Structure 1
Amino acid sequence: MTFKPARLLLALIAVSAAPAFAQNLAVVNGKPIPTSRVEEAVKQMVAAGQGQDSPQLRLAIKNEMIAREVLMQEAVKQGYDKKPEVKQALDNARQAIVVNQLAKDYITKNPVGDAEIKAEYDRFVKQTGDKEYHVRHILLENEADAKAVIAKLKGGAKFEELAKQSKDTGTANNGGDLDWAVPAAFPPEFAAGFTGLQKGGVTENPVKTANGFHVIKLDDTRAAKLPTLDELKPQIADSLVQKKLEAYKEQMVKKAKVQ
């Protein structure tokens, strides 16, 4: 198995601050490298699916850690750690590590519960609706053109033929077909234009959106095929975690004295 140095480097950076054990991986010019760093790097790479715990992986990590320590010592000898841009980068990295640990501990103490996830899923279902709509549209430059199209439709013209003049070039040659979708997939004003239509119906008046004026036809409706709670649970949980962290950040910033 071949191990990519870039993946090893990411793992090693992640464990650069790991606590030291009594036993050392190696001692480089008198500077010990604790074995704990290998254990943490192996755990990180296996968890990320970047390798399997094996003697080969451990040897590759050991060799990379030794090489990095040698290069670090040489960089310090040449004064790179004193350079302003390096100090700034180290400060930024230190800040990121400390803040990330704060966030991790905050979520551990304030976890997202199943009830919160269920409530968020229920809101999603309510917002999305229990129906899917198969709609077509013709997008025109102005209201007058849209009204002219509606008049032609009332006179017996075929919607699919008139759709060829639509500004929406992606659907113009497909009869204006927007396929099956839930109302939430469209701008609110567009969705409001077709949710009240009967099967086969066309909007009586043009529907205005940021894109122009639409003439909309409803082909059919059916029960919506929404993802289940179990399918969306990881995504919802992650979203709620981010919301908790954002609220915590805003709360802390409000308490701070910023001049």
Structure 2
Amino acid sequence: MLSLRHATAAASVALSLVFCGPVVAQTPAPAGAASDVDPSTVVARVGDKEVTLGELMVMRSQLPAQYQQVPLEAIYEPMLNRAVDQILITRAARASGIADQDEVKAKIEEAADQVIAEAYLTQTIASEVTEDALRKRYEEAVAGQTGEEEAKARHILLDSEEDAQAVIAELNDGAEFTKLAAEKSTGPSAAQGGDLGWFQAGQMVPEFSAAAFALEPGTYTKEPVKSQFGWHVILLEEKRTADAPSFEDMHDQLTAEMTRELIQARLEKLRGDTKIERFGPTGKPLVPAE
């Protein structure tokens, strides 16, 4: 006999197959499935239970990413069928008395705990992560800051120090750097005349960055620069100071940081207000780490 976990997984696969098949068929939507329709519009009745367009849109938001990109018209009917099927299966399951089984009760309680915890965090923590709070945090983070220094450079990558010395000799005699890079460089940028574009120091290996940022614009290294990739001859074309990141660029990072800090603070308070005992696998009390 299948365990509940295996049976649930099998049922989920079956429902997914029922749903995914029509998606591939690109079933057109009937009238009334347009995005400007009121979410409260009733799109199905299953006995005495109604399904609204808003519920279908929530279902769509929970689909795998590839299906969320599909136009609504292409997935409307299979989503509607899935919503109807879910109601039918749930009713049949409740009528069977399966909800009274201990294992099912435990899973229902576990799911309820998760929903309640998420709602709690949404209504407490998330409500504190406002745009005003994020913008204040942003201003504090970037106050007085300037962006990092960036360099625009080209390089010629060679297999040996002797080859690199020979290239430098040609440059000293007036050879064009771009042409030599295209002819002699073993690196992937050879086709672009050795062009590496703009980069910050941390984006290159230390030996390369140190040599590149030490140059004056328009000059090249007079000695070969060794790195794990080989021997470099570097031409610095320009330097600039990048702008500090914008609020929009940092929005997601600031949100994550602030949310994490608020949750941690809330947990510390809850821990302090509650007696907590921890035990190892043998049941022996764990000694708190100092």
Q: Does 1:239 align with 2:253?
A: yes
Provide the rounded CA distance (Å) in 1 between the counterparts of 2:79 and 2:154.
58
Give how far 1:136 is off: 0.5
Q: Is the 8 A contact 1:121 1:236 kept in 2?
A: no
Distance 1:91 1:116, change over 3 A: same
Q: Would you say 1:220 and 2:235 are equivalent positions? A: no
After TM superposition, the structure 1 = structure 2 runs for residues 10-21 of structure 1, keeping only pairs within 5 Å, are none
The answer to whether structure 1 residue 168 and structure 2 residue 182 are counterparts is no
**Unmatched 5+ stretches in structure 2:** 1-27, 31-43, 62-67, 281-290
Residue 70 of structure 1 deviates from its aligned partner by: 0.8
**1:113 aligns to 2:134 (yes or no):** yes
For residues 141-156 of structure 1, the aligned pairs below 5 Å read 141=159, 145-156=163-174
Change in CA separation of 1:89 and 1:178 when aligned onto 2, cut-off 3 Å = farther
Counterpart residue type for residue 187 of structure 2: D
Give, in angstroms, the shift of residue 71 of structure 1.
Answer: 1.7
- Deviation for aligned residue 1:153: 2.8
From the superposition, tell whether residues 177 and 101 of structure 1 become closer, same or farther in structure 2 (CA, over 3 Å). same
State the 1:166 CA deviation: 2.4
Aligned pair partner of 1:192 in 203, 206, 210: 210
1:139 touches 1:215 (CA, 8 Å); kept in 2?
yes
Residue aligning to 2:156: 138
Q: Deviation string for 1:178-218 (max 9, x for gaps)?
A: 23x24257326333322332232012344455544432102
Aligned-residue identity in percent:
24
- List gaps (5 residues or longer) in structure 1: 4-24, 52-56
Q: Deviations over 1:157-188 (max 9, x none)?
A: 4323432332322x112210123x24257326
Q: Distance in 2 between matches of 1:142 and 1:87?
A: 70
Does the 8 Å contact 2:153/2:237 carry over to 1? yes
Cα distance in 2, alignment partners of residues 168 and 253 from structure 1 = 52
Offset, 1:109 = 2.5
TM-score normalised over the length of structure 2 = 0.52
Instruction: Pick the aligned partner of 1:2 from 29, 48, 66.
Output: 29
With over 3 angstroms needed to count, the CA separation of the structure-2 counterparts of 1:133 and 1:92, relative to structure 1, is farther
The alpha-carbon deviation at position 242 of structure 1 amounts to 1.0
- Cα separation, 2, equivalents of 1:145 and 1:40: 68
Q: Relative to 1, partners in 2 of residues 1:103 and 1:203: Cα closer, same or farther, differing over 3 Å? A: farther
1:226-250, CA deviations, whole angstroms, 9 ceiling, x for partnerless residues? 5873xxx344222111122334556
Separation in 2, partners of 1:157, 1:141: 20
Q: Which residue identity lines up with residue 168 of structure 1 in the other structure?
A: G
Whether the 8 Å CA contact 2:146–2:244 is kept in 1: the answer is no
After superposition, the Cα gap between the structure-2 partners of 1:79 and 1:117, relative to the gap in structure 1 and judged at 3 Å, is same
Matches of 2:214 and 2:262, distance apart in 1: 42
Give the Cα–Cα distance (whole angstroms) in 1 for the partners of residues 174 and 60 of structure 2. 66
Q: Please tell me whether the aligned partners of residues 152 and 238 of structure 2 are also in contact (alpha carbons under 8 angstroms).
A: yes
Q: Provide the alpha-carbon RMSD of the alignment.
A: 4.8
SS in 2 for 1:195: helix
Q: TM-score, normalised on structure 1?
A: 0.57
**Secondary structure, in 3 states, of the residue corresponding to 2:196?**
strand
Counterpart-to-counterpart distance in 2, 1:77 and 1:208: 75
Matched, 1:41 2:55: yes
Contact residue 148 and residue 241 of structure 2 kept, 8 A: no
Query: Number of residues paired by the alignment?
Result: 218
